[in-house]
Chains A and B, each alone.
Chain A
Amino acid sequence: DAGVIQSPRHEVTEMGQEVTLRCKPISGHDYLFWYRQTMMRGLELLIYFNNNVPIDDSGMPEDRFSAKMPNASFSTLKIQPSEPRDSAVYFCASSFVRGANEQYFGPGTRLTVT
């Protein structure tokens, strides 16, 4: 299996622009998680899905952030409009059975908002 796939790997955008991050989980995994990593705050859970349904979005920082999972093999995290404080590495992870077990992380998308 190719593992969790994320695109793009790097994204540089200007403040106010829309940013869309993409994730393809491991086939057969029922859970998908979006995390954000910064030096100041470490790794934070933003939102997670079970069987394509959002279960907990309490970590989404603001209404500027939205996430969708239209099918079992694809998820997006959108920021509109982007701000410099959104600069971070965004990780997607997937898990099978129960999510509170081993999670498989993608390589991350490094987002820089200028």
Chain B
Amino acid sequence: SQQGEEDPQALSIQEGENATMNCSYKTSINNLQWYRQNSGRGLVHLILIRSNEREKHSGRLRVTLDTSKKSSSLLITASRAADTASYFCATAPGGGADGLTFGKGTHLIIQP
């Protein structure tokens, strides 16, 4: 079953604008991760935020986590054409289990 649900399902913006994607989940988590998938390729890990963290930055990426609302957001600043991809949130459950549960993703298109 899908734990994370991304919103929106698709997003199209102009190059240089910021892109924000949201993720909601249902059960307690150990951490939440964001991955990128380019068309026809495997997933690439972007950033991990632990359940006791509220915000994390990595380059042009900013992730927030609100465990009380069971939600996370991924912000990509100053978007580039190369950012065109699908973005997935994945949750690692509490209790020490190792498998990740992925949402269905947000398809981001950056218009040049």
Residues of A within 8 A of B (CB): 4, 31, 33, 35, 41-45, 48, 50, 55-56, 59, 91, 93, 95, 98-108
B71, CB-defined interface residue at 8 Å: no
Closest to B29 in A: A100
Residues of B within 8 A of A (CB): 2, 30-31, 33, 35, 41-45, 48, 88, 92-93, 96-105
B98 and A98 form a contact (CB under 8 A): yes
Q: Name the B residues within 8 Å of A95 (CB-CB).
A: 98
* Least distance between B29 CB and chain A CB atoms (Å): 9
Most buried by A among B92, B99, B101: B99
* Least distance between B13 CB and chain A CB atoms (Å): 23
A99 and B98 form a contact (CB under 8 A): yes
* Least distance between B30 CB and chain A CB atoms (Å): 6
Q: A102-B48, A105-B44, A107-B41 are in contact. Are A42 and B97 (CB under 8 A)?
A: no
Most buried by B among A42, A93, A95: A42
Q: How far is the CA of A3 from the CA of B99 in the complex (A)?
A: 20
* Least distance between B61 CB and chain A CB atoms (Å): 14
Contact partner of B98 (CB less than 8 A), chosen from A42, A44, A48, A91, is A48
* Least distance between A55 CB and chain B CB atoms (Å): 7
Q: Name the A residues within 8 Å of B43 (CB-CB).
A: 43, 91, 93, 103, 105
**Besides A100-B30, A100-B97, 12 other CB < 8 A contacts?**
A42-B105, A45-B99, A56-B98, A56-B99, A59-B99, A95-B98, A98-B98, A99-B99, A101-B31, A101-B92, A102-B45, A107-B41
